[in-house]
Amino acid sequence: MNTAPVSKPPVSREFIIWGTLVMAGFLMLHALGWRQYTTVVTATLPSGAVSMQEVSTRAFLYFVLYFGTLIVTPMFYLAALLEWGWRRLRRHRPVTSQ
């Protein structure tokens, strides 16, 4: 029976993937021109808007991904960097027994 611990993939990879997905989602919505729907904050509808519900939904999604890109993505990347450094430090530190 093999009792060796199973090696998990580094969490830092997941942080980088999620941060990149949030940023890619924001860039996609920005490229689609959803920034114009943020005028709903000032209680004005953009030209050519169909309904207030559609504008509100698009503005909400744009804001969520915008703030995710500004706040969450850098935290994910910083966490990945710190985990990488921690693993590297632990790998080079000699094991001492008492």
Q: Where are the beta strands (DSSP E) in the chain?
A: none
Other C-beta atoms closer than 10 Å to the C-beta of 22 total 20
Residues 8-24: what's their mean pLDDT? 86
pLDDT at 93: 66
3 state SS of 90: helix
Contact 18, 24 (CB under 8 A): no
Full-model pTM = 0.74
pLDDT at 23: 96
Give the C-alpha separation, 40 to 45, whole Å. 6
Over residues 81-92, the pLDDT tens digits come to 998 888 888 877
Cα 10-73-56 angle, rounded to 5 deg: 135
Over residues 25-76, the pLDDT tens digits come to 999 999 999 998 888 887 777 777 678 888 889 999 999 999 999 999 999 9
